[in-house]
Amino acid sequence: MIELRNVTRRFGDTVAVDRVNLTIETGEVCVLVGSSGCGKSTTLRMINHLLPHSAGEILVDGEDTTAMNPQQLRLNMGYVIQGTGLFPHWTVARNIAMVPRLLKWPRQRIDARVDELMKLLDLDPATHAHKYPQQLSGGQAQRVGVARALAADPNILLMDEPFGAVDAITRENLQLEMLRIQRQVRKTTVFVTHDIDEALKLASRIAVMDQGRIIQHDTPENILRRPASDFVESLVGKQDRGLKLMSLRPVRDLMTPHGSPKPSRPGADVLREDDNLRLALSVMLWQDLPQVAVFNARGEETGVITRERIIQEGA
Ligand SMILES: Nc1ncnc2c1ncn2[C@@H]1O[C@H](COP(=O)(O)OP(=O)(O)OP(=O)(O)O)[C@@H](O)[C@H]1O
């Protein structure tokens, strides 16, 4: 658990972060969102003591971070930044192995960990381990950055606009991968973005910041349904809130299940139980269908979902 109590950071006369109170529970993904210059990165960097705070307290699992050795603290927190920060003259494998090497893990354990992480991040070790960062695509480099942050299995992951520098499709893939990895490894994560859609997709809870302060800290659903101020309302967008709410709910919530699953038919599984309602509606509108079959991860048909029910209950 991470706790910020009345945390302030000044740069000369500028108050970058102003008496912030924030609790991030173990295993949750807290997304800091807000416009440029509102203090997101400064807040993140104070957590791993890259920047000292001017006032207040930061506690990790109940312990005040100022009492901890800063180097030790940083080794226990994975840190991913935009543009990756990979060392250009080191191979992918060496970049990922950076922290385990600093921690003096035995060679075999490091090699096994690099291999495991590359597979987790969908990077084939045989193809990519010995490449240099400039030989990778932006999305691959970003994956290596995430693998490096996870290498020593830290409890906490700090991510500062990690997908900001890649194209929209790669960004969407990286977001989906992050959700998949988070289901597997469950790190306490603080993620900075200025993209509200990214925040809604990834967060367990969102902290909306403005001028160094936290304006609202709540679940994506509550941020959409009950924005605390005009600022939050304008950030989430008034007009398409209904569709955004639909993207937070899985098809599973509103489908009508069959008594027992029907056997899989290759190519038929257009819509999965864990796809979101917005996608389901889009499929039906595009194909002009009143309802569509729903499939589980094994490709078995488990039920149907109707256009009418999504429109009535989806948002
Ligand atoms: N090293 C620094 N020296 C002086 N002022 C700084 C420094 N770092 C940040 N600031 C100021 O603190 C405020 C908050 O900056 P911060 O980088 O935390 O914002 P941000 O929300 O992460 O913005 P962005 O989305 O543009 O990265 C800004 O006014 C910025 O100019």
Q: How confident is the model at residue 76 (pLDDT cuts 50, 70, 90)?
A: confident
CA dist 259 and 246 (Å) reads 26
Atom of ligand 1 nearest to the CA of 209: 21
Atom of ligand 1 nearest to the CA of 212: 14
Distance from the CA of 165 to the center of ligand 1, in angstroms? 18
Ligand 1: does its nearest atom lie under 6 Å from the Cβ of 16?
A: yes
Distance from the CA of 171 to the center of ligand 1, in angstroms? 24
Distance from the CA of 9 to the center of ligand 1, in angstroms? 10
| Residue in 7, 14, 160, 196 to alter for ligand 1 test, most ligand atoms within 8 A of Cβ | 14
Atom of ligand 1 nearest to the CA of 51: 1
- pLDDT at 267 (0 to 100): 66
Closest CA to 151 of 179, 109, 193: 109
Atom of ligand 1 nearest to the CA of 32: 21
Contact status, residue 54 vs residue 8, Cβ threshold 8 Å: yes
Give residue-wise pLDDT tens across range 203-222.
999 999 999 999 999 999 99
- In sequence order, the 6+-apart residues with CB closer than 8 A to the CB of 253 are 277
CA dist 186 and 126 (Å) reads 27
Contact status, residue 155 vs residue 190, Cβ threshold 8 Å: no
Distance from the CA of 8 to the center of ligand 1, in angstroms? 13
Q: How confident is the model at residue 280 (pLDDT cuts 50, 70, 90)?
A: very high
pTM: 0.86
Distance from the CA of 82 to the center of ligand 1, in angstroms? 15
Distance from the CA of 140 to the center of ligand 1, in angstroms? 28
Q: For 273, how many CA atoms within 13 A lie in the half-sphere containing its CB?
A: 15
The two three-digit tokens of residue 129, written as one number: 């381990």
Give residue-wise pLDDT tens across range 104-122.
999 999 999 999 889 888 8
Between 72 and 92, where is the model more confident? 92
Ligand 1: does its nearest atom lie under 6 Å from the Cβ of 87?
A: no
The two three-digit tokens of residue 6, written as one number: 């009345």
**Helix H or strand E encompassing 2:** strand 2-11
Q: Which residue matches tokens 């108050």? A: 15
SS (H, E, C) 216-245: EEECHHHHHHCCCCHHHHHHHCCCCHHHHH
CA dist 225 and 210 (Å) reads 19
